[in-house]
Amino acid sequence: MVAATMRGRFAPSPTGRMHLGNVRSALLGWLQARAAGGAFLLRIEDLDRARCRPQFLQDLYEDLRWLGLDWDETPLIQSERDGVYREAQEKLEREGLIYPCFCTRAEIARAASAPHGLSDEGPRYPGTCAHLTAGQVSERARTRAPAYRFRAREGEVRFVDELMGPYAQDVQALVGDFVVRRNDGVASYQLAVVVDDAASRITHVLRGDDLLPSTPRQLQLYAALGLPAPAFLHVPLVMGEDGKRLAKRDGAFALAELRARGRPPEHVLGLLAAWSGLGDGSPVTLPALVARYRTDVLPREPVVAREALLLDALGLR
Ligand code: GLU
């Protein structure tokens, strides 16, 4: 039997300049794929049009190229793929797995973006609109466009994360029926990510562990759509010294900033390697990291990015 080629991906949202935490996820996904002789794809998750900017997308391409993180195939751009998401939604609809929801919860507005952990998501949806009659639906639709929700199955979804080990979540008990399309017509992150990873035949998803709690929902969608699910590897995030995850507002850690200060890519790679159990902070090249990459050395705890160490590693003081 010929082993199928590994296909990994990086799926950023161009909502700000990439910081070293984002870049580390990109690097690890790239290393995982390249070390296995596999393909590495890029996908632009720009469904939340209000938060995405063309300039951030240009910076993102430049950041990746500057580091040498190349990608195969033309990137999928989510804002151009609504037809594909609609087809998936229609399939779910034919099987009675989704329903229109007329509630006005903030969580519906946020559904186009990937949630950064369960705490971002608000309370469980109690199923208010789960059993409306056809009459109630048409009456409500006169005054308000509906969002659509997937009927989350009951019981635990279990899977084994390639770094974090076994993970179980009862989606219905914890999250409830979740949004697959917002009431302004935009597909949700949860639906788009599944449809696109399947369309790109992604075999391995490596991403930050803020998305670990989203994975059981995605597994339910894979099953409902009859699509094969990839393997998942979630890496604990890089935190600032204040204990909060690095955010696009933390300018000191923006890659574009470090590029502008004339730091060579090998210095940045050295620091990212040190945050990943793959080096001691000294400058390193991509080929050396490909040779060194192993999953079992990746940290299972959040890494703290200390500004002083950053400055040392980058020779900035
Ligand atoms: N676009 C998401 C983010 O930037 C990542 C989605 C994913 O990797 O599944 O947080």
Q: Is 45 in the pocket of ligand 1 (CB under 6 A)?
A: yes
Q: What pLDDT is stored for residue 3 in this prediction?
A: 55
3-state secondary structure of 25: helix
11 lines ligand 1 (CB under 6 A): yes
Q: Is the CB of 29 under 6 A from ligand 1?
A: no
pLDDT of amino acid 287 = 98
**What pLDDT, on a 0 to 100 scale, did the predictor assign at position 248?**
67
Kindly name the residue from 51, 81, 248, 292 that is annotated as catalytic: 248
Q: Mean pLDDT across the stretch 145-174?
A: 98
Closest-CA residue to 123 (of 107, 110, 138): 107
Range 77-106 average pLDDT: 97
pLDDT higher than 80, residue 183? yes
12 lines ligand 1 (CB under 6 A): yes
- Annotated catalytic residue 248: yes
Task: Calculate how far, in angstroms, residue 220's C-alpha sits from the geometric centre of ligand 1.
Answer: 18
Q: Kindly report the backbone phi and psi dihedral angles of residue 202, in degrees, each rounded to the nearest multiple of 5, phi listed first.
A: -70, 130
**Prediction pTM value:** 0.95
Per-residue pLDDT, 252: 65
Parse the chain into domains and list their residue ranges.
Answer: 2-79+236-313, 82-158+167-189
> In angstroms, what is the span from residue 133 Cα to ligand 1's centroid?
36
3-state secondary structure of 150: strand
Q: Which of 79, 211, 222 to mutate to test the pocket of ligand 1 (most atoms within 8 A of CB)?
A: 211
DSSP symbol at 237: P
Among the ranges given (2-11, 63-72, 127-136), the one the predictor scored with the smallest mean pLDDT: 2-11
Q: What is the mean pLDDT of residues 33-42?
A: 98
Q: How confident is the model at residue 171 (pLDDT cuts 50, 70, 90)?
A: very high
pLDDT of the residue at 253: 81
- pLDDT score recorded for residue 206: 98
What φ, ψ does residue 93 adopt, rounded to 5°? -65, -45
CA separation for the pair 14, 55 (Å, rounded): 8
pLDDT average, residue stretch 35-41: 97
Residue 178: phi, psi to the nearest 5?
Answer: -115, 160
pLDDT at 34 over 80: yes
- The CATH number of domain 2-79+236-313 is 3.30.70.20: no
> What integer is the mean pLDDT of 226-232?
98
Give tens-digit pLDDT for 193-224. Answer: 999 999 999 999 999 999 999 999 999 999 99
In Å, how far are 13, 42, 79, 180, 247 from 52, measured between CA atoms? 7, 16, 11, 20, 15
Q: How many residues does the chain have?
A: 317
Quote the CA–CA distance of 35 and 26 in Å, as a whole number: 14
Rounded distance from Cα 45 to ligand 1 centre (Å): 7
* Residues 82-158+167-189, CATH architecture: Alpha-Beta Complex (3.90)
Task: Please tell me the distance from the alpha carbon of residue 113 to that of residue 17, in angstroms, as a whole number.
Answer: 16
16 lines ligand 1 (CB under 6 A): no
Q: What is the pLDDT of residue 305?
A: 84
| pLDDT given for residue 131 in this prediction | 97
Which pLDDT value is given to residue 81?
98
Same fold, 2-79+236-313 and 82-158+167-189: no
